Amino acid sequence: MTEETIFAELIKDLDLFDRKLLFVLDELRTKQGSISIITSRFELCRLLRLQYNEDNVRKLDASLERLAQTPLYLSDVSGFAIATKAISGLYQEKNSQKLNISLGKLFKL
């Protein structure tokens, strides 16, 4: 299985919004060159092509929380299994809009 196939298989059962957010996080990971990314809700909304408003921020926060808590599993017929999380850490800087997101092993496959 290629890396892209493994990634796709691991996230296929996630909510559509969660999957879109994962691709945006992967884009930021590539752009910043690190699995620890610094962003903001405004930037995430912009990259998701959403208007920055209270409802979309609430939806974004719920998705980030789900991605931090939901384990992702993939096993094949040989018995080999992968268990990982998309986000391993999510922190907001005090007195700031900046989010520090530590991406999980899903992005290291």
> Model confidence over 20-76: pLDDT tens digits?
999 999 999 999 999 999 999 999 999 999 999 999 999 999 999 999 998 887 666
pLDDT for residue 11: 80
Contacts of 35 (CB under 8 A, 6+ apart): 29, 102, 103, 107, 108
The stretch 13-25 carries a mean pLDDT of 93
Query: Would you tell me which CATH number, out of the four given (1.10.287.950, 1.10.10.10, 3.40.50.10860, 3.40.50.2300), belongs to the domain 3-108?
Result: 1.10.10.10
Structure tokens at 74: 């993939």
Kindly list the domain boundaries of the chain, sorted by start residue.
3-108
Q: How many C-beta atoms lie closer than 10 Å to residue 55's C-beta? A: 9
Structure confidence at residue 3 (pLDDT): 60
Report the Cα–Cα distance between both ends of the chain, in Å, rounded: 11
The pLDDT-based confidence of 77 (bands split at 50, 70, 90) is low
Q: Which two tokens stand for residue 72?
A: 């992702």
User: Is 18 or 6 the better-scoring residue by pLDDT?
Assistant: 18
**pTM, 2 dp:** 0.84
